[in-house]
Structure 1
Amino acid sequence: MRVLMVSWEYPPVVVGGLGRHVHQLAEALAGQGVDVTVLTRRPLGTDPASHPTTDTVVNGVRVIAVAEDPPEFDFGADMMAWTLAMGHGLVREGLRLLRGGSDPWEPEVVHAHDWLVAHPSIALADFFDVPLVATLHATEAGRHSGWVAGQVNRQVHSVEWWLANTADALITCSTSMRAEVSELFFPGDGATPITVIHNGIDLTAWEFAERPPAHGPAELLFAGRLEYEKGVQDLLAALPEIRRTHPGTTLTIAGEGTQLDWLTGLVDEHELAEAVTFAGRQDHDGLTTLMHRCAAIVLPSRYEPFGIVALEAAASGIPLVTSTAGGLGEAVDHGETGSTFPPADVAALTAAVARTLDDPEAAAVRARRARAVLTEDFTWPVVAERTAAVYALATRRDRRPLARPHIPQRPLPHRDPNNPIQDDSAG
């Protein structure tokens, strides 16, 4: 089977978990005999002179990384214009390289990863007249608790709706995401079939380490993007009480994002300057070192389609303390593979951390169970097999004219009025 994957990030251009997901999936599919070509882009802010389009084969996967065109678009300031320009470049260069030369290559399936590549993916599936499979890794409404009132929010939501209703098959990374996608994009009949395929992990990349005996104050870890939906503000709110019952407890925050300044202000507000360290973005070795050193990782997400960092943490052996938001609630079994709490519940978060610190031996047992579960359900060969099955069943449906979607301007009852992100988003 010949599969054309379209993604706005692929190593060495990695923005977040999506890039790692596409990379591992593509190589796992290639390892199972699927003929995979990935169509992606060169780094932000470059041009064809400094970073021309490349066409290489890496670990069995053909990777076409398309140069940014020269016109001046800034992703942060001109997100939609930049996205459309990227899509135009992917289509133009993709067709030139796929169909050029003495051995043209045509896909049997186009696989789009998220809304940023909706335009080129739909165009290429139409051009080659093949089924379009789309993985929706998150939704704009989900990131903002159902609130899509800002202009860019509404634009992103409408592109997601278009991709979902144009695709011949959809993939989500959790059951909760499937429910979210169904509610947002298919309120009536005629929904695109949706298959749940959890994210995977390369266990060989994460060395498991037993917890050393607890001596002295504990160090907690958060790892992830510094965005409102990741819930770091709830962990900071809980930390004073955690430190009252467990004196000397500290928190290391590994990651970067748009809410760094706001979170730094909360550290001062809670008088935690001596207890909290912002470690910035960590490479693999740096993150592994932190996971092996810290007593527990706390992932307090308010919205989480899946939470791949939970898999990485479990593989490393660090005890898990996570919210039950979205896919985290499916990946972590309370009392068996970690300790969980309802999202945005600071008191429950505090109690879950306290349970973990009070009994490090029991926490270590849960950590070993978490690692064992990974070998059964979350390996990339399993993810690749399930994805290939979706490809095999996908059939190109008759295209019908689509009206513009109705985009409700409604805050859900649980919307937090203190959310500093209420309008435009970088996706």
Structure 2
Amino acid sequence: MRVLMLSWDFPPRETGGSAAHVAGLSQALALAGHDVVVLTTAHPRADREAERVGPVRVVRGVVDLPWLPKTEPVSRTASANHAMVKLGAHLPDTLDGWRPDVVHGHDWRMGWAADTLSSIFNVPFILTMHGTERVRHGGQLPTGTPSDVNSIEWWLAFQADRLIAPTKFMVDQLVTGFELPPELVARIPNGIDPDRWKPSPDVVGADTPVKREQLVLSWGRVQFEKGFQVLARSMATVRMRVPGVECTIAGRGSYQPELQAQIDVEGVSDIVHIAGFVNDSELRLLTQRAGCVVIPSLYEPFGLVALEALAAGAPLVVARTGGLAELIEGTDAGLTFEPGRPDDLANCIERVLTDQFLADELTRNARDLIERKYSWKAIAGATARVYATSIAAHQG
């Protein structure tokens, strides 16, 4: 099967979890024998128009045309999609006659191009919605860009032949929010490569055991909805119960000044540190050292960070929200707390850091969960079945 996949983000550009998802899925599909081409945006560290990333061909396009202001994200995205359509329409010329059997877009930012290219090549259009604008804003859509994006998502939902969402929560949001027939929305989870989360030999010897510390670790984009401010408030309580505890928040984002102010107000600036950008090797080592990984999100449609923490074998505490709750509840692979409740979170952190038996049990169950449900091979197989069903319906 020839698959054309479109994604705004693809390594080395990674502004969110969708880049890792598209990379993992495309690689697994190619290893299963499918011919996969990824169409994505140009990046300074990957500036060739076409390249090979393992068995996957990647075609990158310059999308800053006609250099619209950053204050107009929808207009800039529309312009970018125009550039992607031009690039995609010429794939048969640039790739020796290659034509797709299916077009698979990821989220609204590449939706226009995916829909148009599926029409050009007369093949099905599959759309993965990793999240929606309405859910990101807690069900209340502000005017302006969020409302505009929501309208685009509505349109794309009805243009696509089939939709894919990573959790039951997101499937329900698509079916009820966009009034879609349930049979048109498939649930296929995100995946993880556990080997990626083993400590790098150049950082720590392969046979060297890494001792877990009284370290609370969290990472991701520093935005309000990620809930790092809740973690900061909880640490004021944890420090009184767990001697020597420290907390590291790895990541960057627009909410960082407000988060630092919250840390200062809570009087925990001596034990809570915002590390900024942390590269993969350093992050792997941090997860191996951490006595507890916390994902305090107020909103999280899936929670790739949770999978990463599980793969790293770190005892895990997550907010009981959206896809995080679905991922962890009932698995005994992590503890959950009520989102936005620092006291509830503090209790969970204390339990994990002071009960070694519990921490070891969470780690064992996490390994089992990753191997059983979230391998890329299984996820690629489920995705290929959605493709096959859509192609058959399109041809019929």
For the criterion TM > 0.5, the same-fold answer is yes
Per-residue Cα deviation, 1:39-78 (whole angstroms, up to 9, x for no partner): 11113xx7xxx9866122321111110123553224x422
SS of match in other structure, 1:36: strand
Structure 2 CA distance for partners of 1:20 and 1:348, relative to 1, 3 Å: same
Which residue, 182, 200, 218 being the options, matches 2:191?
A: 200
Q: 2:41 — aligned with what?
A: 41
For residue 176 of structure 2, what is the aligned residue in structure 1? 183
Deviations 1:238-267 (A, max 9, x none): 111111222332210001111101101101
Aligned-CA RMSD value: 2.1
Partner of 1:127: 120
Indicate the residue corresponding to 1:419 in structure 2.
Answer: none
Match of 2:81 in 1: 87
Query: Aligned ranges for residues 25-424 of structure 1 at < 5 Å?
Result: 25-43=25-43, 54-74=49-69, 76-96=70-90, 98-100=91-93, 103-186=96-179, 190=181, 193-207=184-198, 212=211, 218-333=214-329, 336-395=332-391
Question: Distance in 2 between the 1:272 and 1:103 partners?
Answer: 60
Q: Tell me the SS of whatever aligns to 1:327.
A: helix
Pick 1 or 2: higher relative contact order, CA cutoff 8 A, min separation 6.
Answer: 1
Cα distance, 1:115 vs structure 2: 0.5
CA displacement 1:57-106 (0-9 Å, x = unmatched): 321111110123553224x422112111110110012212x121683121
C-alpha separation between the residues in 1 aligned to 2:310 and 2:190? 14
Q: Determine if contact 2:104/2:114 at 8 Å carries over to the other structure.
A: yes
Q: How far does the alpha carbon of each residue in 1:161-191 deviate from its partner, in whole angstroms, 9 at most, with x for none? A: 11111111111011111111222111xx646
- 1:407 alignment counterpart: none
Residue 412 of structure 1 corresponds to which residue in structure 2?
none
Cα offsets for 1:279-307 (capped at 9, x unmatched):
11211101011111121001111111111
Q: Is the 8 A contact 1:26 1:61 kept in 2?
A: yes
The residue type equivalent to 2:144 in the other structure is Q
The whole-number CA distance in structure 1 between the counterparts of 2:212 and 2:148 is 52
Moved more, 138-147 or 338-347: 338-347
Distance 1:149 1:396 in 2: 40
| Length-normalised TM-score, structure 1 | 0.86
Structure 1 stretches of at least 4 aligned residues deviating more than 3 Å after TM superposition: 50-53, 189-192, 208-214, 395-398
Provide, for residues 104-156 of structure 1, a one-character-per-residue CA deviation record: whole Å limited to 9, x for no partner: 12111110100001110111111112111000001111111012122100111
TM-score by length of 2: 0.92
Distance in 1 between the 2:41 and 2:198 partners?
31
Gap change, CA 1:69 and 1:328, over 3 Å in 2: closer
Separation (CA, whole Å) in 1 of partners of 2:11 and 2:361: 35
Whichever residue aligns with residue 258 of structure 2, its letter is W
- Percent identity of equivalent pairs: 36
Structure 1 residues 213, 291: closer, same or farther in 2, change over 3 A? Answer: closer
Paired with 1:34 and 1:171, the residues of 2 have a C-alpha distance of: 19
**Native 8 Å contact 1:168 1:397 kept in 2:** no
Give the unaligned 5+ runs of structure 1.
Answer: 399-427
Structure 2 letter corresponding to 1:382: A
What amino acid does structure 2 have at the position aligned with 1:35? Answer: D
